[in-house]
A and B are shown apart, each in its own frame.
Chain A
Amino acid sequence: MLIRAREVVKSYTRGGESLRVLDRLDLDVAEGEWVALMGPSGSGKTTLLNLLGGLDVPDAGSIRVADDEIVGRSAADLAAWRSRHVGFVFQLYNLLPVLTAAQNVELPLLLTPLSRRERRAHVAAALDVVGLADRDDHLPTQLSGGQQQRVAIARAIVTDPSFLLADEPTGDLDARSAQEILALLGALRAQFGKAIVMVTHDPHAAECADRLVHLEKGAIATREALVE
């Protein structure tokens, strides 16, 4: 099992009141598995995604990734771990507007010991995978929404992470672009065997996953296998 979350608890304090967002949640994600998280707003799906990616820490419980416990690590340690193991895909792409597509994709590689030539080769390969090799010198503002999300996906995969976390990756795209991004994620999973955990509100997007997990009030309501 790639990801094994156990008894995960997370609460936030809002207006002086403690609000439990995740309540003793368990979740397993296998190598190469694509899991879609659905649920109403406030059900805890994005919080779970952030905890799995080490962007936030749980109040209690355990999260093991490839048998490594990530709960209890220092912020610096967690940052280093993220750079090696997690590829993030955000709803609003979060590309840096002052950098070109290639420079955005290269960013995570600056944390690796690769030489400049090796980094260039990795960037070219990643952009080729997402079909934007000819747009490498374009600024984000010169790209369509779908193209920007592809660049973001190239940035997420360029370091060959253990898994991808996608927070509503098609939420800001038109239907056609959304379909292309989902197809790209599917191809990545098939070609490179990357596990994907994706938060979505879109039932069509969720159908692309192997497994659908419904969250309600911080707990898993149903688990549904979509692929035999």
Chain B
Amino acid sequence: MTPWRLFFAHLRNAWLRVLLTSAGVALAVFLLTMLRTVITTLDGAVQAAGANRVVVSSAVSLFVFLPRKIEPELRSFPGVREVCDWTWFGGVYIDEKNMFARFATQPRELRAVFGDRAAGRQDILMPTEQWDAFEADRAGCIVGEDIALKYGWKPGDVIDLIGNLFPGDWHFNVRGIYRPGSGQMDGSTMFFHWDYLDENSGRRGSVSTFTLELDPGTDIAELSRAVDARFESSDHRTRTLTEAAFNQMFVSMWGNLPLLLSMIGGAVLFAAFMIALNTLLLHGQERRLEVGVLRALGFPGHTIAALFLAEGVVVCGAGGFAGVLGSHLLFNVAGVPELDRFFPTFAVLPETQVLALGISLGIGVVSGVLPAWVALRTPVLDALARR
């Protein structure tokens, strides 16, 4: 039988050391989950893209507009079921800190591609009467549930924006509050009528991008080549990408951030590992006599190793659990507004939590095995003689 009383006695006796070591691991795991969540959030946007959608933007830059008049031409390509344009509005809501995405679009088309009239997955979930109200009100808008909750908006409210890309004072009537239906959509975006934007900004007739929804079985690569070839010689050359590739382009704008974050996370974890290992090794050194006595009394090596292993696993596992719990409470329950501005769908995934817990337990195993190995390699007589 393993003398577990010894294990508990050591935890109780060295409670401060146990607490500090666990706290070190907890902090490392907390940082790891946060950094890992940035990566999964960015990756999630790519993964959540619709499989049968392509995005047409200017070949020059994402910040260069395309003329809306090419829409009929885009519709004419074989395999194109629906076309929906998006135009980045920018603007300021009360204060520049109140950052959320605002797009002008065609409500009917938005509904047909992403809403309740979509052929496939619904990325925007909203009651039919709210869709109808949005379509019917030229100055109407819909907002995601996250910003609606944050700013206390409800249908019938008026949102005042100060234009920057499109100067002027803009007033929008909230006609609906949507829930995201997939990872492709977040709950922090505002959509309003492109026509309202166009007639109040001097009839520019321009849009940022077109999203083309394709019939099943359409050759996406062939269609993309055909679209870009059609406008190759015009003054508004296009770049057509799958929705996934388009999302990936946004991720690429962060540079090699995922790699950088992975490296930082790895370094933090390694530091935590070294701290835990060093602490437990020192503790093991202090317990040489104890190991000698146990072995002299006849306790087998694996029983003594189990004591060390349990200590490592409990100390690091508790730290890992605390780190995961902390990140869950902070990011998934309470939320961090500063992060939400950049990553509206920022949430620690269960697989990230499992990974972080697994890593902390792994650190515990190694941190327990090594002192046990050192202790058991020491001859009994040397341990008893405190050598």
Q: Which residues of A contact B (CB under 8 A)?
A: 50, 53, 55-56, 75-76, 79-84, 88, 90, 94, 96, 98-99, 103, 107-108, 110-111
Q: Which of A79, A99, A103 is within 8 Å of B300, CB to CB? A: A79
Main secondary structure of the interface of A (DSSP, over half): helix
Report the minimal beta-carbon distance from B345 to chain A, rounded to whole angstroms: 50
A and B contact pairs by CB, cutoff 8 A, 12 listed: A56-B381, A76-B300, A76-B301, A80-B300, A82-B297, A83-B297, A98-B10, A108-B297, A108-B298, A110-B1, A110-B2, A111-B298
Q: Which residues of chain B (288-304) have a CB below 8 Å from chain A?
A: 289-290, 292-301
Q: Which residues of B contact A111 (CB under 8 A)?
A: 1, 297-299
Q: Which residues of A contact B10 (CB under 8 A)?
A: 98
Q: Does B253 contact A (CB under 8 A)?
A: no
**Contact between chains at B296 and A103 (CB < 8 Å):** no
Q: Which residues of chain B (108-135) have a CB below 8 Å from chain A?
A: none
Q: Which residues of chain B (259-305) have a CB below 8 Å from chain A?
A: 289-290, 292-301
**Contact between chains at B384 and A90 (CB < 8 Å):** yes
A195 to B87, CA, bound (A): 97
A75 to B315, CA, bound (A): 31
Chain A residue nearest to B3 in the complex (CB) = A110
Q: Does B5 contact A (CB under 8 A)?
A: yes
Q: Which residues of B contact A76 (CB under 8 A)?
A: 300-301
Q: Which residues of B contact A79 (CB under 8 A)?
A: 295, 298-300
Q: Which residues of A contact B292 (CB under 8 A)?
A: 94
Q: Which residues of B contact A107 (CB under 8 A)?
A: 3, 294, 297
Q: Does B374 contact A (CB under 8 A)?
A: no
Chain B residue nearest to A80 in the complex (CB) = B298
Q: Does B380 contact A (CB under 8 A)?
A: yes
Q: Does B13 contact A (CB under 8 A)?
A: yes
A35 to B5, CA, bound (A): 36
Report the minimal beta-carbon distance from B378 to chain A, rounded to whole angstroms: 13
**Contact between chains at A82 and B296 (CB < 8 Å):** yes
A76-B301, A79-B300 provided; 6 other pairs, C-beta below 8 A?
Answer: A82-B296, A83-B298, A94-B292, A99-B5, A108-B297, A111-B298
A96 to B292, CA, bound (A): 11
A-B pairs, top 7 by smallest CB distance, nearest first, are: A83-B298, A98-B9, A82-B298, A110-B1, A79-B298, A94-B293, A98-B13
Q: Which residues of A contact B13 (CB under 8 A)?
A: 98
A88 to B294, CA, bound (A): 11
Chain A residue nearest to B8 in the complex (CB) = A98
Main secondary structure of the interface of B (DSSP, over half): helix
Q: Which residues of B contact A50 (CB under 8 A)?
A: 381
Q: Which of B289, B298, B299, B300 is within 8 Å of A94, CB to CB? A: B289
A75 to B381, CA, bound (A): 13
A111 to B298, CA, bound (A): 8
A80 to B298, CA, bound (A): 5
**Contact between chains at B9 and A99 (CB < 8 Å):** yes
Q: Which residues of B contact A83 (CB under 8 A)?
A: 297-299
Q: Which residues of B contact A75 (CB under 8 A)?
A: 301
**Contact between chains at A55 and B297 (CB < 8 Å):** no
A59 to B110, CA, bound (A): 89
A83 to B2, CA, bound (A): 14
Q: Does B149 contact A (CB under 8 A)?
A: no
Q: Does B60 contact A (CB under 8 A)?
A: no
Q: Which residues of B contact A99 (CB under 8 A)?
A: 5-6, 9
Chain A residue nearest to B302 in the complex (CB) = A76
Report the minimal beta-carbon distance from B287 to chain A, rounded to whole angstroms: 9
Q: Which of A80, A82, A98 is within 8 Å of B6, CB to CB? A: A98
Q: Which residues of chain B (1-45) have a CB below 8 Å from chain A?
A: 1-3, 5-6, 9-10, 12-13
Contact flag A55-B6 (CB < 8 Å), given A79-B299, A94-B289, A96-B290: no
Q: Which residues of A contact B298 (CB under 8 A)?
A: 79-84, 108, 111
Q: Which residues of A contact B301 (CB under 8 A)?
A: 75-76
Q: Which of A55, A84, A96, A98 is within 8 Å of B381, CB to CB? A: A55
Report the minimal beta-carbon distance from B326 to chain A, rounded to whole angstroms: 31
**Contact between chains at A88 and B5 (CB < 8 Å):** no
Report the minimal beta-carbon distance from A151 to chain B, rounded to whole angstroms: 13
Q: Which residues of A contact B384 (CB under 8 A)?
A: 55, 90, 94
Interface string of B364-387 (1 = CB under 8 A from A): 000000000000000011001000
Chain B residue nearest to A81 in the complex (CB) = B298
Chain A residue nearest to B14 in the complex (CB) = A98
Q: Which residues of B contact A108 (CB under 8 A)?
A: 297-298
A10 to B49, CA, bound (A): 76
